[in-house]
């Protein structure tokens, strides 16, 4: 069994808590320590026993909170050497770093993580599959387009956490400067609702229990549009669909191996 929650999702800060058995880890932390603790408390969770912080890439919305957290709670940070070298200065020193290479598998507590490269305008961006107890959680965020590797790695996941950043029509009317719009739409930017729809088409299978759309832009997208594009693929597939928000945590999702179905723990 794996349980997880997106504590915050979007360009103002990303963090995902993953727990299972006696293990607990964070994937990215762009939230302040106060926000992180408030949101964990809202889920009946805490930082106690946190075994590691695993980093996808060095953008502030994914790492702004990792320095304080790592130093104060003496938690190791798992990241590639290239990402470590490009962390924003404000993150400060990270005493306990464990470097992996993009494509490596490694374990943190009871979890097995498989990293894989994604295309994004960062030094060495990766995403992860998290496995435990026969459960497979597949995540893909901050990527400009979907490669064969991404599709291959995500296949067979019991839960999929996928970027659905912008609506292609809305971004054409965006108030963002043109360079930023170009960057978002580029092959090293972010996935649109349509990109996510196409990816999901490849990944639907009988044992998929849950789909979470993430990193939804507050300027260039709406929850309803992201949901509609995913539903357009899922139709009558029994998997649950959830759209993660910027300012509040999702419920604590639970995925179980075999025939058990995902449910939202109360
Ligand atoms: Zn991001
Ligand atoms: Zn990014």
131-179: pLDDT as tens digits: 999 999 999 999 999 999 999 999 999 999 999 999 999 999 999 999 9
Residue 62 Cα to ligand 2 midpoint, Å, equals 7
All residues at 6 or more sequence positions from 204 whose CB lies less than 8 Å from its CB, including other chains: 233, 234, 237, 239
Among the listed residues 177, 163, 171, the one whose alpha carbon sits nearest the alpha carbon of residue 221: 171
In angstroms, the CA 85 to CA 79 distance is: 10
Residue 61 Cα to ligand 1 midpoint, Å, equals 5
CB-based neighbours (< 5 A) of ligand 2, an ion: 59, 142
Residue 167 Cα to ligand 2 midpoint, Å, equals 17
- Which domains does the chain carry? 2-264 (3.60.15.10)
Q: Is the pTM of this model over 0.75?
A: yes
Residue 144 Cα to ligand 1 midpoint, Å, equals 11
Average pLDDT over residues 198-206: 97
């Amino acid at each position: 069994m794996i349980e997880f929650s997106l504590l915050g999702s979007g360009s103002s800060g990303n963090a995902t808590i993953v727990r299972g058995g006696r293990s607990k880890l964070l994937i990215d932390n762009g939230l302040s320590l106060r926000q992180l603790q408030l949101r964990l408390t809202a889920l009946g969770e805490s930082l106690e026993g946190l075994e590691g912080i695993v980093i996808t890439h060095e953008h502030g919305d994914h790492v702004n909170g990792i320095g304080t957290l790592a130093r104060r709670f003496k938690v190791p940070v798992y990241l590639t050497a290239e990402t470590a070298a490009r962390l924003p200065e404000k993150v400060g020193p990270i005493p306990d770093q464990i470097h992996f290479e993009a494509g490596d598998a490694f374990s943190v507590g009871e979890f097995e993580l498989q990293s894989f490269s994604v295309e994004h305008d960062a030094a060495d961006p990766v995403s992860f599959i998290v496995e435990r107890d026969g459960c497979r959680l597949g995540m893909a965020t901050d990527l400009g387009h979907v490669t064969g590797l991404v599709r291959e790695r995500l296949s067979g996941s019991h839960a999929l956490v996928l970027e659905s950043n912008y609506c292609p029509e809305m971004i054409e009317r965006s108030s963002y400067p043109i360079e930023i719009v170009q960057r978002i739409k580029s092959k090293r930017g972010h996935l649109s609702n349509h990109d996510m729809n196409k990816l999901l088409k490849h990944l639907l299978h009988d044992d998929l229990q849950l789909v979470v759309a993430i990193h939804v832009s507050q300027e260039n997208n709406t929850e309803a549009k992201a949901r509609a594009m995913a539903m357009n693929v899922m139709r009558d597939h029994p998997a649950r669909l959830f759209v993660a928000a910027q300012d509040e945590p999702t419920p604590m999702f639970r995925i179980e191996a075999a025939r058990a179905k995902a449910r939202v723990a109360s």
